[in-house]
C-alpha cells in the first residue's frame, strides 16, 4: 500500500526548526501569521467598491431591520 504522504514533503517538514522542542506545535507561529495575513487582506483589499467587512456590515444591518419589522408586526397584531 502506498503511503499517504510524499517523502519530499516529509523532508521539507523535517527541516522546519523546533521539532525536538515543540513537536507538531512548531507550526503554530506560521499558521498565526497566515491567519493575520488573511484578516489583513479581508480588511484592506477591495473589489470594486466593496470588501468583506462592508458586505458583512450591510448584511448585519439588513437582518437587524428585518427583525425589528417582524417585532413591530407582532406588536400590531397583539
Q: What is the mean pLDDT of residues 57-65?
A: 94
Q: Cα dihedral angle (68, 71, 75, 78), rounded to 10 degrees?
A: 160
Same domain, 56 and 24: no
Output the CA angle 23-12-36, nearest 5 degrees: 70
The phi and psi torsions of 52 (rounded to 5 degrees) equal: -60, -45
Same domain, 30 and 55: no
pLDDT at 52: 84
Q: What is the mean pLDDT of the chain?
A: 89
Q: What is the rounded CA–CA span in Å between residue 39 and residue 56?
A: 14
Same domain, 9 and 21: yes
Structural domain that includes position 61: 48-78
Domain count, the chain: 2
Same domain, 38 and 54: no
Residue pointed to by grid coordinates 450591510: 58
pLDDT at 2: 66
Same domain, 76 and 40: no
pTM of this prediction? 0.58
Q: What is the rounded CA–CA span in Å between residue 39 and residue 31?
A: 12
Same domain, 3 and 25: yes
Amino acid at each position: 500500500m502506498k503511503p499517504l504522504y510524499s517523502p519530499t514533503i516529509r523532508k521539507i517538514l523535517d527541516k522546519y526548526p523546533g521539532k525536538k522542542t515543540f513537536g507538531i506545535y512548531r507550526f503554530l507561529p506560521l499558521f498565526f501569521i497566515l491567519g493575520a495575513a488573511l484578516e489583513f487582506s479581508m480588511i484592506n483589499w477591495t473589489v470594486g467598491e466593496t470588501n468583506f467587512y462592508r458586505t458583512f456590515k450591510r448584511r448585519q444591518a439588513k437582518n437587524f431591520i428585518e427583525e425589528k419589522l417582524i417585532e413591530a408586526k407582532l406588536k400590531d397584531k397583539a
